[in-house]
Amino acid sequence: MNKNEITSKIIGAAIEVHKSLGPGLLERTYEECLCIELEENGLNYEKQLLLPIRYKNRELKDAYRIDVLVEKEVIVELKSVEKILNIHKAQLLTYMKLSNKKLGLLMNFNVDLLKNGIKRLIL
């Protein structure tokens, strides 16, 4: 399965979650439900994946956490905020750089129509 197919399935799963739950819930709730949908769609994922960084020859093991990594290829960063800000995009780009992943999805579930809350980022 190529990255576009994976991305398409992730977005479809997220839309299903959003249609069922609507906006206004906590990010953690959307994450759990998205993982159920990913599993039902036959996608492998890891959630709350630790992303360590090195600083002065020391490893900071719990520096960052990736919300969901799908098929070891696509980072999904979930939000439930009023508006996506540049800092949210920067956060995802940082995760992508640190993990050497080229594709990420930033998803804000706190919107009326989910397609308006999805940003696809490529390194």
Asked whether the beta carbons of 63 and 53 are under 8 A apart, the reply is yes
**46 near 76, Cβ under 8 Å?**
no
Backbone phi and psi for residue 85, each to the nearest 5 degrees, phi listed first: -110, 165
At 8, is the pLDDT very low, low, confident or very high (cuts 50, 70, 90)? Answer: very high
User: By residue range, what is the domain housing residue 10?
Assistant: 3-122
What's the pLDDT score for residue 14? 98
Q: What is the mean pLDDT of residues 98-107?
A: 96
pTM recorded for the entire structure:
0.93
- The predicted structure's pLDDT at residue 61: 85
Hey, what are 49's tokens?
């994946």
Task: Give 62's pLDDT tier (boundaries 50, 70, 90).
Answer: confident
> With bands split at pLDDT 50, 70 and 90, how would you rate the model's confidence at 1?
confident
Contact of 93 with 123, CB cutoff 8 Å: yes
Kindly compute the dihedral angle of the four CA atoms of residues 66, 68, 72, 73, in this order, to the nearest 10 degrees. -90
Strand ranges, E, within 1-57 = 45-55
Tell me the pLDDT band of 42, cut-offs 50, 70 and 90: very high
Tokens linked to 7: 């991305």
Classify residue 35 by its DSSP letter.
Answer: H
How many domains does the chain divide into? 1
